[in-house]
Amino acid sequence: MDYPVQSISAIGAFSLLVAALLIFLLVEKERMSRKLRRKTMEDSLTQLYNASACRTLVSERLEQMKSGQRGALLIMDFDNFKEVNDFYGHQMGDNILGQFADMLRGVFDKESIVARVGGDEFAAFMCSVESDAEIHRVCSTLRDRSHSILAGDERITISIDAISAYAHNDYDALYRLADKALYRAKGNMKDQYFIAESPAVDM
C-alpha cells in the first residue's frame, strides 16, 4: 500500500504476461492441431495427400464447382514398376517415387490436389481447365518429365489417363472410369496418355 502506483503497474505487467502466454499457447495448440490433421492426410513417403484425403478433398471441390465449370482428374501409374523394385530393390523404388512426387509439385499449381493413391499410382485433380488442349499439355509434360527419372541406366515411364470433371460428378465414378481406361490402355502400349470419355454432366 505504500507504493500503489508501482503495485498497480506490476499487477498490470503480470496480467499482460499471463495474457500473452495464454495467447501463445492457444496459437501453438492450433498450429499443432493443423499439423496433426495434415499428417493424417499425408502419404508418409512422398508427403503428398494420401488416397483417403484425395477422395475427400476432390469430392468437396466437385460439390463447390459451379455449373459449367470444368476440372480434370488424372490417374498416373508407373510402367513395369515391380521389375524396378525386384531388380534394384525397394530403396531405389522409394527414391524414384519421391522424385516423381517432387516432379508433380513442379507441374501442378497450388490449387490442384495431388496425391499418392496406391503403391506406384498417383492422382491429381485440376480444379479449373479451359480446354482439351490444356489437359493434353499437362499430360504430355508429365510423360516427358518422367523420363528424367532413372532406375540405373533405364528411364522411368508412366501411363496416364485423364477425365474431365464437372459440378456434382461423383469422385468414385470418375476414378473408376479413369482407372479402367488406364489399365485397358496399358495392355496395348505404355509411356502414353489417354483422355477418357467424360460422364454425363449434371447441369
Where in the chain are the domains?
Answer: 1-41, 51-195
Give pLDDT, residue 13. 74
Q: What is the DSSP string of 51-70?
A: HHHHHHHHHHHHHHPPTT-E
Provide mean pLDDT across the span 82-86: 91
Q: Which of 127, 128, 113 is nearest to 48 (CA)?
A: 113
Residue type, 131: S
In this predicted structure, what is the pLDDT of residue 150? 94
3-state secondary structure of 52: helix
pLDDT tens digits for range 177-188? 998 888 776 776
- Between CA 88 and CA 43, with CA 156 as vertex, the angle to 5 degrees is 80
| pTM score, whole prediction | 0.79
Q: Domain 51-195 adopts which CATH fold?
A: Alpha-Beta Plaits (3.30.70)
pLDDT at residue 190, rounded to an integer: 85
pLDDT in tens, 44-75: 999 999 999 999 999 999 999 998 899 999 99
Spatial contact of 110 and 163, defined as CB atoms under 8 Å apart: no
At 3 the pLDDT is 58
C-alpha cell at 151: 532406375
| pLDDT for residue 68 | 86
User: For residues 5 and 183, which has the higher predicted lDDT (pLDDT)?
Assistant: 183
What secondary structure letter does DSSP report for 66? P
pLDDT grade for 115, boundaries at 50, 70 and 90: very high
The residue assigned the cell 492441431 is: 33
- In terms of Cα–Cα distance, which of 133, 141, 129 is closest to 61? 129
Average pLDDT over residues 97-125: 96
Q: What is the pLDDT of residue 6?
A: 62
Lowest pLDDT segment from 6-10, 46-50, 73-77, 106-110: 6-10
Read off the pLDDT of each residue in 130-141 and give the average, rounded to a whole number: 94
Which of the two residues, 14 and 43, has the higher pLDDT score?
Answer: 43
User: Are the CB atoms for 162 and 194 separated by under 8 Å?
Assistant: yes
Determine the pLDDT at residue 199: 63
- DSSP labels, 122-167: EEEEES----HHHHHHHHHHHHHHHTT-EETTEEP-EEEEEEEEET
Per-residue pLDDT band at 20 (split at 50, 70, 90) = confident
Q: What percent of the chain has a predicted confidence (pLDDT) above 70?
A: 83
**Residue type present at position 38:** R
